[in-house]
Amino acid sequence: MLAIVAPGQGAQVPGMLHAWLELPGAADLLASLSTASGLDLTAHGTTSDADTIRDTAVAQPLIVAAGLLSWNALNSPAADVVAGHSVGEITAAVVAGVLTPADAMGFVHLRGAGMAQAAAKVATGMSAVLGGDASVVVAKASEYGLTPANMNGAGQIVVAGTLEQLEAFANDAPEGGRVRPLPVAGAFHTEHMAPAIADLEAYATSMNALDPTAVLLSNADGNSIDSGSEALHRLVAQVSNPVRWDLCMDMMVSMGVTGLLELSPGGTLVGLAKRAMPGVAAVAVKTPEDLDAARALIAEHVGKA
């Protein structure tokens, strides 16, 4: 049984689309995604520097575009299970047949811009806590007014809040945990992002979301989503609510997933899966050089019990 997963913000690196654009049809696809997003994703994926692509309004469309480029390079394979981490849920919605690439890019453009505007109101950020007991980490975060925004499993929790709160938390790190600031420009998946919701809700009413063609897991609780309308509703609500990737991985294990393929810019979710999903074969698609391994994984696991 094959799961295709898509990473979230923070996975972007300068020049990450260079190699993809050498593939037949990739430049045309990226041009169409650029048009739908209102951004020059070719420039951002090849020449923009780290600070530019750290901007939430740029990073989010760029990450979704990277995922769709890699999925297209694999000839848009079907999957038994699909899931995405944070903004990766938008990529996952395309893979599961819920959204068209154009609708996904229009949605992520508005999402990124709205979250960037929300982040500009107060200086906020996110930090990963590696190691430590989960209950201790959450309790310590609460002491400093932080939200456990990403429960990633495998000994990783991402906390979010104001920069002052994060600094105080880092200076009083929970026992057994190492605190590492993340290269994102806001406290995503917290109440700080609430101002971005209204515009997304309004935009969503103009979208035609189809029912998933594969099992599509939700970041909210790890459960499957049965309808396109529910998937779209959850994509909107997700902006200001925590990501429960731990529950998504638990669900994949309980369903009997045997292979996990992470779309570009891959690596983060495979790293988590190797610790939380032992025995599951995993491939991260980082560059076109990984496509052969990805195709072999698909052939071996899709549709297999």
Residues marked active site are found at 86, 189
Nearest CA-CA partner of 58 in 94, 124, 2, 14: 14
Which tokens go with 223?
A: 């459960």
Q: How many helices (H) and strands (E) does the chain have?
A: 13, 10
- Rounded CA-CA distance 282/273 in Å is 8
Sheet (strand 178-181) strand order: 147-153, 156-162, 124-130, 178-181
How many other CB atoms sit within 10 Å of the CB of residue 237?
15
Helix (H) or strand (E) holding 264: none
Burial 245-262 (b: 16+ CB within 10 A, else e): bbbbbebbeeeebbbbbb
Contact call for residues 173 and 185 (beta carbons, < 8 A):
no
Q: Which residues pair with 215 in a beta bridge?
A: 81
Chain centroid, CA 256 distance in Å: 22
User: HSE of 76 in the Cβ direction (CA atoms, 13 Å)?
Assistant: 12
User: What is the distance in angstroms between the CA of the first residue and the CA of the last residue of the chain?
Assistant: 6
